């Protein structure tokens, strides 16, 4: 062990090709546990991403990262210094903690950021790039998907460099932005080549919380028209307007938000407090505009005559618990409690999982947004004849009878200072009715609001 390692600082060296050519034992061991080989490409994605960024910018970068290590996460402070066509590494901290899901996915402003329904399958990771979710569609390639959950993303995919030697996912990880067209091989099926795309998840404190992404068979991508290759972050883009809107606005807004969050976090050194506040305001405004883009793209989809959500068997109680989890950070910031259905409670229904999640996130998010501090939101699941119902009740100011239909109108907000686009409830009702259900409200001024989502049982 080197003298630096004895002091808690672990050293390493990457050559010009990103291979870990020298490392103190703790770093070498972590590299091998992540699937790397001695002298091979660095297998710890977070360190690889930071090293690539430092080399690309040509400057020393120090940053805190969270890496997966078996059933635990490790908090590291990594210093990447580009020298002599390689990168010198100094790793400090090494604080172990139990792995957990992202606290809120993207609970502050982008709850509707769902990925393209036409993807072959979907995946999601936590901040340490540990898999937290795989869609059922993946079973055709992977078999039993449960064995992959909790494992590093690199254990499922082997990333393939592009013609320019670049790995889009590592650049995205370094800068916490979306990525597209990352070629990969599925380790469990060497013949299965896929193309990955993903968007960053940002938790309630503005921190990177993982990626949500798609996997599309490489042969499908090769046969697709050029315009269809670019994945969307919210459902399949319905027409040229939606594609142009998404392409023109999302990428620049993503970059603005990511840059503002980096400035606010003062990663590269302290700045004046008022500048940090300005950066926070910019990030918040950017996220608001991204939410508006999502709503407008969804609006284009649901108003098409041929719009048809999927029909699949659902457990509404499970989806309600998951949707509430996305809002947990926002609720805790207001000292609010969300009373959930019991863990063993089930309520079967038929509908489109992602669209039902979208509706419930909107309804629960509204309850948290408009109810006062230190109050409570109740979520109940009931069977009403041949309909399954999820009821969200709050202790907010309530809605006057004459306004109860108005709130479901397009772009309608009861007051000018209300946040949002005025499309959330309109979209929620349209989606519910497209699934042969409905969204209704029962409220009175000063008595809170009670929103009810109903869906057919079969």
d(CA 219, CA 191): 11
179 or 439: which leads in pLDDT? 439
Mean pLDDT across the chain? 77
- DSSP H or E segment with residue 131: strand 131-134
Domain boundaries, the chain: 3-97, 121-302, 312-456
Tokens representing 37 are 């080989």
pLDDT over threshold 90, residue 289 = no
> Identical fold at 3-97 and 312-456?
no
pLDDT over threshold 70, residue 225 = no
Residues 6+ apart with CB under 8 A from 143: 188
Q: In the predicted model, what is the mean pLDDT of residues 271-288?
A: 72
Identify the CATH class of 312-456.
alpha beta
pLDDT over threshold 90, residue 304 = no
pLDDT in tens, 338-362: 999 998 899 999 998 878 988 898 8
CATH superfamily of the domain spanning 121-302: PAS domain (3.30.450.20)
Question: Whole-prediction pTM value?
Answer: 0.45
| CA-wise closest residue to 439 among 426, 429, 449 | 429
Tokens representing 234 are 């919210």
pLDDT in tens, 196-217: 988 888 765 567 788 888 888 8
The percentage of the chain sitting over the pLDDT mark of 90, rounded to a whole number, equals 18
Are 136 and 160 in contact, with CB atoms under 8 Å apart? no
CATH code: domain 3-97 is 3.30.450.20
How much is the pLDDT for 417? Answer: 54
């Amino acid at each position: 062990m080197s003298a630096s390692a004895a002091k808690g600082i672990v050293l390493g060296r990457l050559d010009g090709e990103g291979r870990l050519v020298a490392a103190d034992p703790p770093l070498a061991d972590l590299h091998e546990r992540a699937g790397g080989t001695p002298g091979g490409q660095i297998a710890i994605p977070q360190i690889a991403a930071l090293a690539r960024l430092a080399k690309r910018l040509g400057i020393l970068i120090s940053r805190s990262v969270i890496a997966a290590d078996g059933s635990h996460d490790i908090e590291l402070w990594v210093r990447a210094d580009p020298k002599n066509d390689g990168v010198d590494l100094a790793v400090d901290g090494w604080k172990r903690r139990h792995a957990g899901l992202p606290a809120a996915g993207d609970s502050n402003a982008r709850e509707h950021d769902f990925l393209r329904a036409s993807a072959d399958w979907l995946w999601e990771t936590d901040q340490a790039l540990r898999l937290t979710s795989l869609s059922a569609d993946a079973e055709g390639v992977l078999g039993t998907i449960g064995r992959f959950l909790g494992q590093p993303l690199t254990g499922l995919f082997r990333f393939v460099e592009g013609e320019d030697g670049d790995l889009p996912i590592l650049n995205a990880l370094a800068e916490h932005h979306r990525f597209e067209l990352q070629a990969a091989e599925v380790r469990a099926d060497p013949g299965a080549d896929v193309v990955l795309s993903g968007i960053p998840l940002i938790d309630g404190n503005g921190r990177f919380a993982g990626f949500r992404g798609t996997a599309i068979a490489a042969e499908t991508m090769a046969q697709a028209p050029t315009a269809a290759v670019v994945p969307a972050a919210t459902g399949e883009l319905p027409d040229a307007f939606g594609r142009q809107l998404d392409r023109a606005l999302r990428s620049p807004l993503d970059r603005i938000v990511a840059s503002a969050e980096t400035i606010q976090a003062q990663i590269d050194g302290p700045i004046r407090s008022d500048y940090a506040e300005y950066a926070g305001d910019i990030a918040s405004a950017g996220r608001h505009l991204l939410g508006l883009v999502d709503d407008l793209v969804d609006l284009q989809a649901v108003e098409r005559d041929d719009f048809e959500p999927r029909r699949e068997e659902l457990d509404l109680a499970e989806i309600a618990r998951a949707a509430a989890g996305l809002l947990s950070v926002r609720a805790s910031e207001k000292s609010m409690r969300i009373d959930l259905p019991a863990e063993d409670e089930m309520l079967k229904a038929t509908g489109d999982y992602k669209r039902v999640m979208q509706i419930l996130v909107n309804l629960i998010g509204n309850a948290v947004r408009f109810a006062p501090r230190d109050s409570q939101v109740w979520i109940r699941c009931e069977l009403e004849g041949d309909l399954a119902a999820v009821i969200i009740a709050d202790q907010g100011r309530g809605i006057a009878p004459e306004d109860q239909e108005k709130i479901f109108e397009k772009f309608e907000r009861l007051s000018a200072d209300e946040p949002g686009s005025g499309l959330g409830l309109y979209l929620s009702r349209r989606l519910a009715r497209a699934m042969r259900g409905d969204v209704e409200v029962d409220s009175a001024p000063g008595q809170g609001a009670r929103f009810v989502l109903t869906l057919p049982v079969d």
